[in-house]
Structure 1
């Protein structure tokens, strides 16, 4: 994407009512929407996050299917989720929002027990050991998710990375967290949850065309 195109999208994002772009300082010093997201959506419906939402494809797809659930996509790259934000406006999806910020700040953006569910879709597996702290299912991230999720809230991890799948399963079992469902190839499993296989990102459909397995884990963080 050219720099001019990026700048155009950044400017357009600033005009979208469904895009929030706080500075890091605003988030760390007391984010105004923390604990008040139902006021932002003007309802008391459940709130679901997609972390590292990219173009917002999953956020949009889920919002279309579930109008009585509020969806928030989070990514640091605003030029990417511009597409999702614009689609939501074009289709009058009032249950969608996007936040441009670092995922590591999730517990500063949302209050304790404010979130019902989290989706992590095709994250960078950060395979090198030196990148462990950036893996979105490492122990520190799980603590953050536990803080913002309601007591019975859960996390969904969908990935094409066998490494990420295995790493996460091992960590969950080792720490005594609750694995609700796990499979290493959901499209070849007759018992895969419908909401998981009926929603696909663009890249996911490309993986499937070349028979690349898609893995999935649904779990609760328990402490």
Structure 2
């Protein structure tokens, strides 16, 4: 994925009050950051932030953390942050591989994965955010009833993800190959990509999986 460089993005991120600069120092104490015991939901690869911003507005009793690897993308989310009146949303610029350096065991209640990079080459399969390797990372930080909600327009990635869920021993709660024409469409919050793809008539795949026990 080729990204357009945004001049001054790193400086804006460094000066932003809602971007956590040393997230590994918050491991195990994220409730102190938010000042409450509300459940923590995270989005990995949040893009420009439309999805997580809308969730934060609708659910003031849930704490949200948006994770984005690229400064030039994260800075666009920061531009939207002033629209949110409550303090239940923070951001982290980091690679998802470092997730367990930032969140303690059972510290997260839910993870959202939306239109993740498919990494189409087979040799890059371990980099896919729904690979067995990443599911193991999620399993460590999710609580006992922790969920992952994954949406994508990429059917090959979705089929791969279903295989990985079984291999990793997770539980498949529900699945649809056409979200917007399914029983799960009500209450669905769309991302920027989702709005674009749905207007083009592309079906959206979605699965909800629950962490393995034991």
Q: TM-score range by the shorter chain?
A: over 0.9
Match of 2:211 in 1: 221
TM-score, with structure 2 as normaliser: 0.92
CA displacement 1:62-107 (0-9 Å, x = unmatched): 1011011011011111221222223223432311111011100001
Is 1:58 the counterpart of 2:48 in the alignment? no
Match of 1:7 in 2: 7
Match of 1:180 in 2: 173
Contact 2:113 2:149 in 1 (8 A): yes
Unmatched runs of 5 consecutive residues or more in structure 1: none
Using the alignment, how far apart are the partners of 1:13 and 1:175 within structure 2?
36
Report how many aligned residue pairs link the two structures.
211
TM-score, with structure 1 as normaliser: 0.89
Q: CA RMSD in A?
A: 1.6
Contact 1:88 1:94 in 2 (8 A): no
Q: 1:43 offset after TM fit, Å?
A: 0.9
Using the alignment, how far apart are the partners of 2:165 and 2:83 within structure 1?
40
Is 1:154 the counterpart of 2:154 in the alignment? no
CA displacement 1:145-166 (0-9 Å, x = unmatched): 0000001011010111101111
Match of 2:186 in 1: 194
Using the alignment, how far apart are the partners of 1:74 and 1:206 within structure 2?
22
Contact 1:177 1:220 in 2 (8 A): yes
Structure 2 residue corresponding to 1:44, chosen from 20, 37, 52: 37
Unmatched runs of 5 consecutive residues or more in structure 2: none
Q: 1:118 offset after TM fit, Å?
A: 0.1
Is 1:79 the counterpart of 2:58 in the alignment? no
Structure 1 moving runs of 4+ over 4 Å = none
